[in-house]
Structure formats: C-alpha cells, structure tokens
C-alpha cells in the first residue's frame, strides 16, 4: 500500500513535468497544426541553460540562497528556451507555413536533431548526464503510513504546484485576454483572424514563446528534482508530452494537464506492477499512444475535428 | 532577388561571364595558400598550391585544375552559341564558388586564420578569393541573362548509337564514382585532406553536371535510358560490378560500398512508403533490425535462439517475410490515422521495437549483449569476408558482399520500378496526392497503404539479413530512432519517389562521414541541418522524380507555376534563393 | 475629390491561374457600390485582395488616395477597411461577445462597449444570446453577427461578400435593410452579390465583373435597366 502511494506520488511528479511540456505542444499544434518535434529539445535546452545560469552567471554568494538562485535560474532557462523557439519559428517553420504538411514535420525533426547535437557537442561534459545542483531545496517530507515510509520532496511539491498554477494562468490568459482571443481565432480560422486585424505571425510567435517558456521552466524543475540534466531527456519527454497532449485532446489546455498526469502515473505504476517492470514502462506508453491515435485521435477532451489530411 | 534582377540588365551577362571566366583562370594560376604545411611533410596544401605556373604550367592538378577547367568553360559558354546559356553559367558559377569556398575555408582553418589564404610572411595567396569572386560573377551573369528552361534535345538516334552513348555515359559514371571515392584517400587523423579534396571535387562535379543538365545532355541520356531500359539496367549493373576493378577496389571501399548498398536498398524500400504512398515512417529502421535479428537467429551463431543453421537464402526469405508481417501490422493503423499522426504511430512502433530488442524479448535479440559472431555467408566453400582470387587476379576482401549487395539493390530497384508503374503504384501516387479523391475513384486505399508498408518492410528485412552476416554482430543499438532519421534523410536528400535519388542520398550520407572523419562528431548535426535546409530550399531533393508533382515542392502556394520550380535545379546551386 | 476606394487595373493570380485580370472601379464616400457577376467572376478574389489576404499581381488599390496594395491585412483594417467574408466565417467555437470583441481587435479606444451595445440594438437577437457559441446560430443570425463583427472596427469602408447567400427571402430583406441603415449612419459600403436585382436596387453605383474583368458600370438603377445585365444576371431574355 505504501509502495502504491509512493508510486502515485512519483507518477504525479513526473506527470507535472510532462504536463508543463505538453502545454507547449498542444498550443502550437492547436494554432498551426504542427507537431513541433523539437519542443522536447527546447525543454532539454531549458534545463541546460538554467544550469549554465547557475554555473557561469550567478555569483557564488547567491548560489546557496534558493530564493535568489532558483528564480534567476528559471529566468535563464526560460529566456534561452524562448529565444530558441522564436528563432526556430522564424527561420525554420514560418517559411514552410504554406508547404505540404510533411515538410514542416521533417523540418521539426531536423531542428530537434540539431538542438540535441548542439548541446551534446558544445555544453561542457554534456556527452553524459550532467549533475544539477539542488542543495538549496532538498527538504524531504516523509510520513510513516500503511506499513511503510512515504516520501515527498519539496522539489516534487514545487513541480506539481508550478505545473498546476501554470496551467490555470495559461487557461485564463487564453480565454480572457485580447491576445488569447487572437490565438484562438487564428487557430480556428487564420484568414478570418487576419480580417479582424490579428497579425498571425505575431500571434504564432507568441504561442511558440509561451510554450517554450513553460518548457524552459520545466527544465529547471526537472533538474532540481532529478538532480541531473541529460541530452537524452529531450526526445523522451518530447514523446511523453506529445502523448499527453494527444491523450488529452490536442488544443486543450485542460487535456494536456490531465494527459500529462495520466502519462506520469501510467509510467510509474506500470514500472512497478506490470510484467517487465521499468524495462517496459515506456513500451506501455507507446502502446497507449498508438491506441489513442488509432481509436480516439481527438483525445479525451478534444473536439472531433474535421478529417485531417 | 527581384531588385537584383532590376540592376542586372541582360546586356551585362556576357561581360560579367567573360570577366568571371578570366578571373577563374587567373585564380587557378594564383597561389592559394601562403605557406607550406610543415606538419604534413612540408607539402603545400594539398598539392601545388603556390605560384608555379611559369616553371611548370602543366602541373596544375586537383582543385586548381578544376578551377581552370570551369573558368575556360565559362568563357567558352559566354561567347559560343550554347543553349540555355545563362542556366549553364549559373551552374558553373556555383561550382566555382563551391571549389573556392571549400578550399579557402579548409586552408584558413588548417593554416591558422585568414593569413593562410591572403597574405602573410611576404607571400600572397588570393587564389581562393579570386575563385569565389569569379563564381559569383558567373552566377550574376546567369541571373542577368534570365534563366532559360532546360534545353531539350530532340535528336532521335538509332539503337546501336543509343547503346553506345549509354555505355559510354555509364562507364564515365563508374570512373567518376571511383574517382570520387578515391579523391583524397581514406579520411582520418593521418589524412586531413580527405574531406576538403572530396568536397571540392563534389562541388566541381556538381557544377559540371548542372551545366550538362542545362544544355540538355543529361536529360537526353536519361531519355535514352528510358527508351532502352533493359539495356541500361544491365549496363548499370555491370558497371557497378566493375567497381572492384577500378582504383576504388580496396578492402576499405568495398566494405563501405557494401554498407552503402545495404542502406540504399533499405532507403528504396522506405521510398515506397514515403515517396510513393506519401506515408511518413519514422520507425522504419525497425524492419531492418527485424530482418537482421531473424537472420542472425537462423545463422548458427552461438548466441542464436534457434540452434539451426539455415542456408543464407532461406534465412533471408524468412527474415523478409517476418519483417513484411510486422510491416503490415505497423501499417494497419493507416486505416484510421493519417498524416503526421501516422508518423507518430510509426515512431512509437519503432521505439517499441527498440525497447523490446534492448530487453532481449523472448531471448531473440541478445539484449545488451547483442548476437555476436554471426558467421559470414559461405557459398561453394568461399567465405564472403575473405578476398577472392580469380586466376591471377586478386580481388579485395568484401568484394563478394559487395557483389551480393549490388544484386540486392538491383533487385530492389526492379521491384520499385515495376511497382511504381503498375496499377498499385498509380494507386499509391493517387493516395499521396489526395487520399479522399483516390478513395472516391474506387481505389482501395486501406489495402494499398498496408501493402506499401508490407513491401517496404519486406525489402528492409531482406537488407537486414545481409546486414546481419556482413557486420557479424547484430545489436539493438544499430536500429535506433536516429537511424530511421538517417534513412529518411537519404530519401529526402535524393528526392522522394526517385530511385537514383535514394541511392545517391544513401551514398552521400554514408560516404561523407567516411571522408570527413575529423568531423564525425558533427555527423548527426549535419543530418539535422540538411533536413532543415532541404525542406526550406529544395524540397524535391537532388534528383527529383520526373513523373511526379513534387509533394513537397510548394508549387502554387505562392504563385509560382510548376515549371518554374525546375528552373533552379543546378545541383551545385541547390541553396540558391528560389524566388 | 478623390474616391474613398479606387481600384485600378487590378489583376490577381493563384499560381498560374489568373482569377482577376483587369478590374477597375471606384467607391465614393457615403455610397453603396456593388460588384455583380456570375460565380467565379473574380468578385471574392477582388475583395480578398483589397483587404490584404492576397497580394495583387499588378494594378493599384488606393484608399483615401494612398496605395494599400502591399500592406498587411491588419494595417489595412487599421486604415478603416473592414471585410465581412463570404460564408460568414464566424468563430463558431466562440461566443457572440467574443466574436464582437475580435471585430474590435485593432481598436484601442474606450468606445468598444458602447459600440457593442449598438450592435445588440441593431440585432436584438444577438443581444439576448451574448454568451452562446456562434456556431449554434441560424444562417440569418450568423450573417447579422458577421456584419456586426465587421462594424465593430468602426470602418470607413465596409465590404460585404455575399451577405444574402443561403438566406430566406425575409431574412435577405432584413439584411439589405440593415445595409441601407448602415449607409444612412455614414458607412460607405462595397457589396458583392449574386443577387443582382436586390443589390443594384440598393446601390448608388454598380459594376459588372465578368471573367475577371469589369465589363459594365453605371448607377445602380441604370444597370438594372440595362438589357445586357437583365439578360445575363436577372434571368430575362
């Protein structure tokens, strides 16, 4: 029982990270129907950028104060992620906006490979997982219950809190603000949105930027929770997040969050209880992805869309 | 581009071209680097890079000879009545730019800065810069003159003459391939020249080919080969089989060429799925892997799950069938899933395969230990990994694998070509262009799509069987996502739906890393960049399929008529601004 | 005095196909001007070009005497040209109110709420169902919302593309009454219609577009009387 609870907690933490990344996927897909394959790598770059902020930018005296270090690292990670996303939107995706659909997908694949390789080659020591500092927020809460010990770290609580708050803020922004309306309008009917005076390029860049900022923050949270960053996580978490977005219904904020937590819980529980254990936990997620795409491509909360080519 | 066109009056074309050509000739005669590369035995980079025209005018070789040739041709083209002159000029110009930039950049990097290629220690060397400027002048001349359509030769020739022409062209092709493989020798630490010499030659050949394409020669030859298909294929296969007898007939290149062949066969299989049917498959390498594991398990290797040793042909057929079955399974979601969602489904299948193989599923894959020591193919007492002696002629080791793979590639090509022109091929192309319309016309789209996956996977499985024996170790990590991306890159680089394209793409993607060993760390990054740049500037690939409306060329979207898209296909100038 | 909108020798192409070859017309301040013509004559393309969704191949578009042919769609809207597109094109998954707010997207002044009230006065049925999704409305109600949405940007020139398409005769009458009402409030209107009879009856000036060219022009009532127009577009022989 205690094991189950512990696994549920682990799953929720993982799910929180996935949800934060899935938000970017779902928003970008919602607005330009692009599977931004490189989004997972943006998350990874965010993790490395925040680490670089810690290692090379922060003065040593600030490093031990979490209330100074953590926000600045988050800003560093998010900022680099945003700049990266804006550049790739402008130079890789925008020229292909009217191209057949395979072209931007292949480009996204290319961008993803380039980002991963760039970090692997040029970040010092990134050919292997790089240790990430968390000395400043390593408090663990644990209780004896159900015949075992259940532990939850402050980083885990932070991860869950940030992802929930982020989703609520984003949902409010999109449903209430002027730019949010513009985003939804562009997603529904880009031409008519232009007739309303919406600048589609600006709207799309903003969408990319918001998604990237969330992914960058997810990178920081991932780092402090799992105490390392690794060039491999971009691809993996990208797939997780994409699965979450599809499961929840692409374009839906709520769906992305619920999908994210669902994926986290499935991975964690499947690793514990299903045959094959952690060796096969990814396989279950991929099978789930296939099943959802085949039988309910609009996801749990998505509206059945017109036939997609 | 349009502003540039306004400035460049057509009258400027000829003076610009002549100027460019003369400058190129001068560039060829100028020194290119300022000092000797002591660390390479005191040689000038790579050979005769200093001014020596007056004492040994005929010793120009390598890239300087290429520069000289291009320069002379530019002048001739500018003055003589040449069809599609400005298109030819542009191609030649890009060739010059490529040669100039590649050698200059290399010399500057190796020689420690700009001084190595400009002026230092009392020596001057502006050859590289002159060459680039000459190339730019030729390109500008091409733009100024306006780009004409590719010239079409309507000359009808008698069959014997056509045979002769085809024979000569394929032999030339063979010699060029051998020359390219050998250019600069084998890459590696001991031979830093390999990369730039090879790239420079590539640039030169691309420019020359673009020029020949412009005057219509390549189009004519390809038309002839279309008319005499059987003969062409036979000659082509014979030429490929003759490669071991050329200067490229070394152990090393036979092994590399065999690897290229395996990937090319797999890429052609993928081309059925992606290029013909328009279904993006991101997990395709799994079928190669399935074929390899099946063959390994029937090979009698110590770690094999089955203790039987089947003859290679039988094992290969089983491997192909099993891969085909998995292909049909992976393809079955196409009944309900389309477009980029389908791409993700295939990716998921690919990852499931990798995970399963990594965990030694059913004891079939060896997991992290792989299946080592798969014996080489052995026919008639001749082991395929040994060298072969026929009479007094000793052929390099690996030559038998090379021959086997040439046969395999030829087989796959024939399958592909027949399918493409058959009913099913037209059905695939219809599905690619518009699935709903295809269905409305009575095409059983579901069947056709699954069949595409099935056939593609079967071919990959066959290639996998050869792969298992040739590499002798079959490990799950040879079949990762990035390998699927590489195959996809090969197909896209070459041109979707085009057979020569897939072979060329696979060859380039495998030969380049061999030549650029020093940069092997950057291999994946270059793949990624290549994908982005091709999609941006040349979505139809290097050798676009003539019979298809390029799915990935955004014709019409911005008001460019389809014919104009072909205006820019000078191979050397593939990144030219398209409009 | 120069016309509010002047289109000179406009031609527009989709790829190699020229949809508009040589269209010229002018819209004077305060007028209702209609472009009539058969399906595929290039009327919709002309409007889409004026509002900046498509780039002209050649020719000039002048608004208040200044060329707008190479401006982005949102800049053209900011200059005061609103376009109510063919087929309504409402944001079906958004509420009435959100649709109207999007109509006022380029405005930064305080009067948006007041103008929204005016739309609700003009079309009371919208006012009663502000929070409903636009996709749930009937064709006529959607057309009202589409016009109301276009009016929210306070345009100097309102372009209406086939406002009567698919509507019942009563609803069509209501929409045309509204158009006249808008004119009387000072909005200049460029109307594209297949319902030539109703459009010309309403118009100060009409232009006949045929195969991408303007072939006839004149005051609405004169065109209405023209034999060629009657033969071609009003179903008489």
Most B CBs within 10 A among C15, C17, C18, C49, hence the mutation to make, goes to: C15
CB nearest to B552's CB, from A100, A294, A309: A100
Contact criterion met (CB below 8 Å) for B349 and B283: yes
**DSSP code of B309?**
B
Cβ neighbour number for residue B367 with a 10 Å cutoff? 17
ipTM score here? Answer: 0.90
Q: Which of the four pLDDT bands, split at 50, 70 and 90, describes residue C143?
A: very high
Please state, rounded to an integer, the average pLDDT across all residues of chain C: 89
In angstroms, the separation between the Cα of residue C2 and the nearest Cα of chain A is: 25
Is there a contact between A101 and B347 if contact means CB atoms under 8 Å apart? no
Q: Is A250 on the interface with C (CB under 8 A)?
A: no
Cβ neighbour number for residue B376 with a 10 Å cutoff? 16
Question: In whole angstroms, how far apart are CA A158 and each of A164, A217, C48?
Answer: 10, 11, 50
Is there a contact between A294 and B435 if contact means CB atoms under 8 Å apart? no
State residue C88's pLDDT score: 87
Q: Which of the four pLDDT bands, split at 50, 70 and 90, describes residue C50?
A: very high
State residue B209's pLDDT score: 85
Most B CBs within 10 A among A97, A103, A277, A280, hence the mutation to make, goes to: A103
**DSSP code of A305?**
P
C interface toward A at CB cutoff 8 Å?
51-53, 72-74, 77-78, 82-83, 85, 89-94, 98, 101-103, 105-106, 149, 153
CB nearest to B561's CB, from C16, C55, C57: C16
Integer-rounded Cα Rg, in Å, for chain B is 25
Nearest-angstrom CA–CA distance, A38 and A110: 8
State residue B185's pLDDT score: 64
Q: Which residue has the tokens 């008519």?
A: A192
* Cβ–Cβ pairs < 8 A, chains A and C: 61
State residue A90's pLDDT score: 93
Most C CBs within 10 A among A183, A192, A195, hence the mutation to make, goes to: A195
CA nearest to C51 within chain A: A195
Handedness of CA C30, C31, C32, C36 (dihedral sign): negative
Contacts of C95 in chain A (CB under 8 A): none
Is there a contact between C93 and A182 if contact means CB atoms under 8 Å apart? no
Q: Which of the four pLDDT bands, split at 50, 70 and 90, describes residue A50?
A: very high
State residue A303's pLDDT score: 62
Contacts of A194 in chain C (CB under 8 A): 52-53, 73-74
CA nearest to A109 within chain B: B528
**Residue A277, token pair as written in the block:** 């254990």
In angstroms, the separation between the Cα of residue C50 and the nearest Cα of chain B is: 18
Nearest-angstrom CA–CA distance, A151 and A140: 7
Question: In whole angstroms, how far apart are CA A156 and each of A226, A255, A260?
Answer: 9, 22, 15
State residue A92's pLDDT score: 92
Torsion angle of C-alpha atoms C47, C49, C50, C55, degrees rounded to 10: 180
A73-84: pLDDT as tens digits: 999 999 999 999
Most B CBs within 10 A among A92, A94, A267, A286, hence the mutation to make, goes to: A286
In angstroms, the separation between the Cα of residue A309 and the nearest Cα of chain B is: 6
State residue B405's pLDDT score: 87
Listed by number, the residues of chain B in 531-560 with a beta carbon closer than 8 Å to a beta carbon of chain C are: 555-557, 559-560
Greater confidence (B175 vs C104) lies with C104
Least confident of A128-137, A233-242, A283-292: A128-137
Longest CA pairwise span in chain A (Å): 64
State residue B549's pLDDT score: 43
Over residues A204-220, the mean pLDDT reads 95
Over residues A45-52, the mean pLDDT reads 95
Q: Is A197 on the interface with C (CB under 8 A)?
A: yes
Q: Which of the four pLDDT bands, split at 50, 70 and 90, describes residue A117?
A: very high
Is there a contact between A181 and C105 if contact means CB atoms under 8 Å apart? yes
State residue B53's pLDDT score: 45
**DSSP code of B389?**
E
In angstroms, the separation between the Cα of residue B559 and the nearest Cα of chain C is: 3
Chains that touch A (3 or more CB pairs under 8 A): B, C
Domains and CATH numbers, chain B: 2-223 (no CATH), 250-544 (1.10.3470), 545-579 (no CATH)
Is there a contact between B333 and A282 if contact means CB atoms under 8 Å apart? no
Contact criterion met (CB below 8 Å) for B492 and B541: yes
CB nearest to A194's CB, from C53, C103, C153: C53
Nearest-angstrom CA–CA distance, B539 and B494: 10
CA nearest to B482 within chain A: A113
State residue A230's pLDDT score: 92
* Cβ–Cβ pairs < 8 A, chains B and C: 15
State residue C234's pLDDT score: 64
CA nearest to B557 within chain C: C15
Question: In whole angstroms, how far apart are CA A266 and each of A7, A290, B566, B574?
Answer: 10, 15, 51, 47
C54-91: pLDDT as tens digits: 999 889 999 999 999 889 999 999 999 999 999 889 99
State residue B186's pLDDT score: 64
Nearest-angstrom CA–CA distance, B71 and B67: 6
CA nearest to A279 within chain B: B359
Is there a contact between C83 and A189 if contact means CB atoms under 8 Å apart? no
State residue A182's pLDDT score: 94
Contact criterion met (CB below 8 Å) for B24 and B74: yes
Q: With a cut of 50, which residues of chain B have pLDDT below it?
A: 1, 38-42, 46-57, 548-579
pTM of the model: 0.84
Is there a contact between C94 and A188 if contact means CB atoms under 8 Å apart? yes
Q: Is B41 on the interface with C (CB under 8 A)?
A: no
Most B CBs within 10 A among A283, A285, A295, A302, hence the mutation to make, goes to: A283
Chains that touch C (3 or more CB pairs under 8 A): A, B
Most A CBs within 10 A among C91, C101, C147, C148, hence the mutation to make, goes to: C91
Q: Which residue, among C151, C140, C193, C164, has the nearest Cα to C32 in the 3D structure? A: C193
CA nearest to A181 within chain C: C102
Is there a contact between B560 and C57 if contact means CB atoms under 8 Å apart? no
Domains and CATH numbers, chain A: 2-295 (1.10.3470)
Is there a contact between C94 and A195 if contact means CB atoms under 8 Å apart? no
Is there a contact between B336 and A294 if contact means CB atoms under 8 Å apart? yes
Cβ neighbour number for residue B139 with a 10 Å cutoff? 26
Query: Which own/partner contact pairs does B233-236 have at CB distance under 8 Å and 24+ positions apart?
Result: B233/B410, B233/B413, B233/B414, B235/B166, B235/B167, B235/B170, B236/B170
Q: Is A178 on the interface with C (CB under 8 A)?
A: yes
State residue C97's pLDDT score: 93
Is there a contact between A181 and C53 if contact means CB atoms under 8 Å apart? no
C193-219: pLDDT as tens digits: 888 888 888 999 999 988 888 888 889
Nearest-angstrom CA–CA distance, B120 and A45: 42
State residue B37's pLDDT score: 54
């Amino acid at each position: 029982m205690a094991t189950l609870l512990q696994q549920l907690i682990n799953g929720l933490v993982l799910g929180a990270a996935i949800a934060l990344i899935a938000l970017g996927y779902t928003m970008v897909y919602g607005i330009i129907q692009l599977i931004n394959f490189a989004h997972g790598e943006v998350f990874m770059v965010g993790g490395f950028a925040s680490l670089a902020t810690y290692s090379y930018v922060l003065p040593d005296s600030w490093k031990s104060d979490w209330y100074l270090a953590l926000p600045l690292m988050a800003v560093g990670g998010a900022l680099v992620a945003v700049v990266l996303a804006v550049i790739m939107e402008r130079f890789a995706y925008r020229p292909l906006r009217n191209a057949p659909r395979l072209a931007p997908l292949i480009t996204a694949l290319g961008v993803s490979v380039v980002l991963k390789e760039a970090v692997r080659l040029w970040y010092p020591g990134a050919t292997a997982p790089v240790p990430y500092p968390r000395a400043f927020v390593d408090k663990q809460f644990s209780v004896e219950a159900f015949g075992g010990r259940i532990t939850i770290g402050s980083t885990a609580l932070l991860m869950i809190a940030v992802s929930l708050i982020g989703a609520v803020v984003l949902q409010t922004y999109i449903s209430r603000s002027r730019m949010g309306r513009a985003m939804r309008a562009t997603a529904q009917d880009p031409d008519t949105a232009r007739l309303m005076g919406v600048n589609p390029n600006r709207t799309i860049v903003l969408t990319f930027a918001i998604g990237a900022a969330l992914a960058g923050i997810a990178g920081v949270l991932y780092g402090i929770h799992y105490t390392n960053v690794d060039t491999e996580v971009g691809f993996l978490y990208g797939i997780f997040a994409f699965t979450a977005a599809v499961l929840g219904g692409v374009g839906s904020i709520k769906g992305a969050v619920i999908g994210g937590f669902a994926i986290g819980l499935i991975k964690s529980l499947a690793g514990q209880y299903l045959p094959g254990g952690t060796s096969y936990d990814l396989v279950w997620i991929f099978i789930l992805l296939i099943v959802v795409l085949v039988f309910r491509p609009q996801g749990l909360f998505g509206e059945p869309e017109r036939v997609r080519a | 581009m349009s502003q540039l066109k306004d400035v460049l009056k057509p009258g400027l074309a000829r003076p610009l071209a002549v100027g460019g050509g003369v400058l190129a000739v001068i560039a060829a005669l100028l020194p290119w680097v300022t000092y000797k590369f002591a660390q390479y035995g005191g040689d000038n980079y790579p050979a005769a890079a200093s001014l020596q025209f007056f004492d040994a005018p005929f010793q120009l070789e390598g890239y300087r000879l290429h520069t000289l040739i291009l320069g002379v041709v530019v002048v001739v083209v500018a003055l003589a009545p040449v069809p599609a002159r400005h298109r030819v000029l542009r191609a030649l110009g890009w060739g010059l730019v490529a040669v100039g930039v590649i050698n200059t950049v290399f010399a500057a990097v190796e020689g420690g800065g700009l001084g190595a290629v400009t002026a230092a220690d009392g020596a001057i060397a502006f050859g590289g810069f002159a060459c680039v400027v000459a190339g730019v002048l030729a390109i500008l001349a091409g733009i100024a003159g306006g780009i004409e359509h590719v010239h079409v030769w309507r000359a009808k020739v008698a069959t014997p003459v056509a045979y002769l022409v085809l024979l000569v062209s394929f032999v030339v092709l063979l010699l060029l391939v051998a020359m390219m493989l050998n250019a600069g020798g084998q890459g590696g630490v001991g031979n830093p020249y390999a990369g730039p010499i090879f790239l420079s030659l590539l640039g030169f050949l691309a420019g020359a080919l673009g020029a020949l394409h412009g005057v219509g020669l390549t189009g004519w030859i390809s038309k002839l080969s279309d008319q005499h298909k059987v003969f062409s294929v036979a000659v082509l296969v014979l030429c490929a089989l003759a490669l071991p007898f050329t200067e490229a007939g070394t152990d090393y290149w036979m092994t590399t060429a065999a690897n290229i062949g395996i990937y090319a066969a797999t890429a052609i299989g993928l081309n059925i799925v992606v290029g013909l049917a328009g279904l993006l498959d991101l997990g395709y390498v799994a079928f190669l892997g399935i074929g390899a594991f099946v063959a390994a398990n029937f090979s009698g290797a110590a770690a094999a799950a089955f203790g039987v040793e089947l003859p290679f042909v039988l094992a290969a057929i089983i491997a192909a069938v099993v891969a085909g079955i998995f292909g049909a399974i992976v393809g079955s979601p196409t009944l309900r899933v389309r477009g980029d969602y389908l791409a993700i489904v295939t990716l998921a299948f690919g990852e499931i395969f990798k995970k399963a193989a990594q965990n030694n599923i059913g004891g079939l894959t060896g997991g992290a230990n792989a299946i080592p020591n798969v014996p080489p193919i052995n026919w008639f007492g001749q082991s395929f990994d040994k060298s072969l002696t026929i009479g007094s002629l000793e052929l390099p080791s690996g030559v038998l694998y090379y021959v086997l793979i040439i046969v395999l590639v030829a087989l796959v090509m024939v399958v592909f070509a027949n399918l493409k022109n058959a009913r099913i091929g037209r059905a695939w192309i219809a599905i690619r262009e518009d699935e709903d319309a295809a269905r409305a016309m009575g095409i059983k789209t579901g069947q056709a799509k699954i069949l595409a996956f099935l056939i593609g996977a079967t071919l990959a499985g066959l290639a996998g069987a050869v792969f298992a024996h040739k590499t002798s170790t079959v490990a799950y990590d040879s079949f990762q996502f990035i390998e699927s991306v590489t195959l996809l890159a090969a197909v896209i680089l070459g041109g979707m739906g085009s057979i020569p394209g897939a072979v060329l793409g696979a060859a380039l993607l495998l030969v380049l890393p061999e030549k650029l060993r020093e940069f092997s760390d950057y291999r994946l990054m270059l793949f990624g960049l290549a994908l982005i740049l091709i999609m941006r500037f040349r979505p139809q690939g290097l050798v676009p399929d003539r019979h298809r409306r390029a799915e990935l060329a955004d014709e019409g979207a911005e008001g460019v008529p389809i014919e104009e898209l072909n205006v820019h296909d000078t191979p050397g100038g593939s990144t030219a601004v398209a409009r | 005095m120069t016309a509010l909108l002047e289109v000179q020798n406009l031609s527009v192409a989709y790829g190699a196909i020229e949809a508009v070859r040589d269209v010229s017309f002018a819209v004077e301040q305060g007028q209702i001007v209609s472009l009539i013509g058969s399906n595929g004559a290039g009327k919709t393309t002309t409007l889409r070009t004026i509002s900046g969704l498509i780039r002209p191949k050649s020719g000039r578009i002048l608004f208040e005497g200044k060329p707008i042919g190479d401006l982005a769609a949102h800049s053209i809207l900011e200059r005061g040209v609103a376009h109510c597109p063919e087929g309504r094109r409402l944001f079906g998954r958004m509420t009435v109110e959100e649709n109207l707010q999007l109509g006022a997207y380029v405005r930064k002044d305080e009067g948006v709420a007041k103008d929204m009230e005016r739309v609700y006065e003009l079309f009371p049925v919208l006012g009663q169902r502000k929070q409903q999704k636009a996709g749930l409305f009937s064709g006529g109600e959607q057309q009202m919302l589409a016009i109301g949405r276009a009016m929210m940007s306070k345009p100097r020139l309102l372009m209406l593309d086939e406002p009567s398409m698919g509507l019942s005769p009563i609803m069509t009458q209501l929409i045309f009454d509204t158009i006249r009402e808008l004119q009387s409030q000072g909005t200049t209107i460029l109307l594209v219609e297949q319902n030539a009879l109703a459009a010309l009856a309403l118009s100060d000036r009409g232009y006949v577009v045929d195969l991408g060219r303007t072939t006839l022009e004149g005051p609405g009532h004169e065109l209405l009387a023209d034999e060629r127009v009657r033969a071609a577009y009003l179903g008489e022989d």
